[in-house]
Amino acid sequence: MAVYRSVCPLDCPDACAVRITVEDGHVTRLEGDPDHPYTRGFACVKTARYPERQHHPDRLLHPQVRVGPKGEGRFARATWDEALDLVAERTRDAVDRYGAESVLPYSYAGTMGHVERDHPLAFFRALGASELDWTICAATGGAGWEANYGPHKLATDPEDLPHARLVILWGIDAARSHVHLMPDVRAAKRAGAFVLHVDPYRNDTTRVADEHWQVAVGSDTAVALAMGHVILRDGLEDRDYLARHARGLDAYRRAVAAWTPARAAEVSGLAPERIEAVARRFAEARAAYVRIGYGMTRNEGGGNAVRAISLLPALTGAWRHRGGGGGISTSGAFALGTERTAGAHLLRPGVRVINQSRLASALLEPEGPPVAKLFVFNSNPAAVAPDSSRVRAGLARPDLFTTVLEHFQTDTADYADVLLPATTFLEHPDLYSAYGHYHLQWAEPVVPAAGEARPNTWVFRELARRLGLDEPTLAWSAEEVARDLLASGHPHLEGISFERLREARSLKLRLPEPFRPYAGGAHHADGKVAFDPPPRALAFEERPTESFPLRLISPPGSHVLNTSMGNVASLLEAAGGEPRMLLHPADAARFGVRDGERHRVVSAQGAIVRRIDVTDAAREGVLIALGQWWPKLAPDGRGLNDLTSERLTDLGGGSSFGNAVVRVEPL
C-alpha cells in the first residue's frame, strides 16, 4: 500500500489537495490532505467517491470507431493508428472543402488542470479552427465583476474570512459547491459575525446562516440597489474611500434613489424593514464580506446583479478591513503565462468565434462555413449545452464528423464517429490554479493509465504530426507547459519555480501582506471602482405566463453537481436513484402535483419527466432541479437542458440556465 498526494480536477472553487491510497495498482481511497492549509483534511462527498469512478466497469479502454447510426452508441474497437489516421483524414478533408473554420473544438472544465484543459487549444489555433467562446458557466459573473473592478478577478483571501464581522452568501449553496469555505464562515460566526444567506432555495448553507432571504428569482439587483439606497440615504458610506477610489458615484446615487426598500420588497418578496436593517448592519460592520455564486448569474440580468452586489463593499469601504470585501473568484491572482501554452500567439485575425452556449445553432444554422469537424473533450455538450434537443439534432447530422475524447460513453459519446479513451487526473501530471483560494498546485500520476487511455495532449500532439503542423509548442511535455506557465514574471509567482512546486506540490501565491485586493482602488486604467454606468434591474423578456407559470433553477444537489461524476452508482443511489425536483406546497396544490410522484415538466423548448418532492425549501413560483444528470440515466432519457433556451445574459454572452419558465403536468 502507498499513499500519494494529488489535486482534485473537478470544476469547483476548492481545488482540493487530496491523498490517494493505492493498493496493488488499485485506487482504494481518496481523502483531503490534512497538511494543506485550505483543504484541511476533508474532501466533499462527491470527490471522495472518485476511486469508484476510476475503476468503473464502463471505463473506456480502447479507441473505437462508430458502426451504427449516430446516437445509438454502437462502436467497433480500433487501434490508435487507425483511429487517429481517420480523424486526421476527415479533418484535412473538412479544411480542404470549407476552410479551417469548419473545424470546431468544444471543451470546458471536465478537468481544471492547465495542461490537459488549456494546452490542446494550441492545436486548434495552429490549425486556424473556429474559436470557442467559453461562456457556459462563468462568463457573465466575470463580466459583471470586471465591469466594476477591471481585469483579473480577485477576492478577499478566504483564509481571512474569520475576521469578517458580517458575511453574506449571495446566490451560492456553499455547503455543496464551495464546502471548504464553510469552516471559515462558521469561524466568523463564532467570533460574532452575522451571517445572511440569499437564495430562492433553502438548503444546507441556509442552516449555517442567522437569516435567510428567499428572494424571487432575478430580484437580486433590485435588493442590492435598495441596500445601496439605505447606505447613501443614511450617510453610512465610506466617503474617504469613495473620494479616492471611485468614479461615477453621482450616477449610481441617482439610480439607487429610485430603489427604495419598499420597491425592492415588491419584486423580491422580502420585508422592507429587513432590507433596511441588514443594509445598515452591513455598513456599520465595516469588515463585511459578500461571496457571490455563479449560479445566480445564469439569467438575463445576471451580470447587472453581480455589479450591484459587488459594489456594496466598495460603497462602505469594506475592502480596507481585514476579512471585508468578498468575491466571485480568486482566479485572476494566479497570473500564469498562458499565451504560448494555450496558443494565443497562433490566433489568426478575424477568426470566427462561436459562443458555446449556442452550440445548437452553430451546428444547425451556422454563420459562415458549416461545422464539418467537431472535437469534444473535457465536456458533455449533449447534456450540458442549452436547448439539448437541437444539440442532439446537430450532433446527428450525417455530414458532421465528431471525435470525442472521454472516460465513459456519455450522451455526447453516443454521437461520436471516433471515440477515444482519455486518462483521468490520477494517470497524468498537471498544474492546478483555483478560483476559491490562492494555492498553486502540481500533481503527478499515481497509477498507470487504464487500458490504452492517453492524455488529451498526447492525442493532439499525434494529430498535429499527422496534419503537418510544425508549431514547436505543440510538442511540449507537461513539464515544459508548466515551466512556461510559471515564467510570466508576475510578482505573485515570485520564487515559485517548477522544481520548488514539484517538490512541495502546493505553494501559496506571493501576495502582498496584508492582501486586500481593492483597498487601494480597482484595476481599470484610472485605478477607480466603476459605479457608472449604474447597474440596472432588468425586466426579463422571458417571464412566467399562464402557459408557463413557474421559474426553473438548477442549484447543485447533495450528491450530483454536474455530469463529471454522473454515472457513479453510489452517488446516484444517495441522490435518490433518479433526478428529482422540488416544488412549494402552494404550487403543488395549484397544479395537482403529488409528493414523490413523476410528472411531466414542459417549456417552450421541450419536455422531460421528473419525480417531484413537495417542500417549502422551494420558494413559491420556483421549480428547483437538483443537479445535472446524464440524460441517458434519467427515467425518460432526457436531460434538464431539453427545457432551456439559447437566450444569452446581459453581460458576457453567458448561458441563461436559470431563466427558463415551465409548467408541470400529470403523466
At 563, the pLDDT band (50, 70, 90 cuts) reads confident
What percent of the chain lies above the pLDDT cut of 90? Answer: 97
Q: What is the pLDDT of residues 601-640, one digit of tens each?
A: 999 999 999 999 999 999 999 999 998 899 999 999 999 9
Q: Which of 540, 573, 103, 143 is nearest to 352 (CA)?
A: 103
Q: What is the pTM of this model?
A: 0.97
At 5, the pLDDT band (50, 70, 90 cuts) reads very high
The C-alpha angle 89, 92, 95, rounded to 5 degrees, equals: 150
Give the phi and the psi of residue 361 in degrees, each rounded to 5.
Answer: -70, -35
Q: What is the pLDDT of residues 524-539, one digit of tens each?
A: 999 999 999 999 999 8
Q: What is the mean pLDDT of residues 338-350?
A: 95
Distance CA 370, CA 373 (A): 9
At 206, the pLDDT band (50, 70, 90 cuts) reads very high
In order of start, what are the domains of the chain with their CATH numbers?
Answer: 2-54 (3.30.200.210), 64-137+339-424+451-474 (3.40.50.740), 140-328 (3.40.228.10), 550-666 (2.40.40.20)
Q: Which of 291, 284, 226 is nearest to 256 (CA)?
A: 226
Distance CA 33, CA 17 (A): 5
Q: What is the mean pLDDT of residues 72-77?
A: 98
- Locate 25 and state its grid cell: 495498482
> 3-class DSSP state for residue 204?
coil
Give the phi and the psi of residue 578 in degrees, each rounded to 5.
Answer: -160, 160
- CA 556 → CA 110, 238, 634, distances in Å? 16, 36, 17
Distance CA 160, CA 519 (A): 14
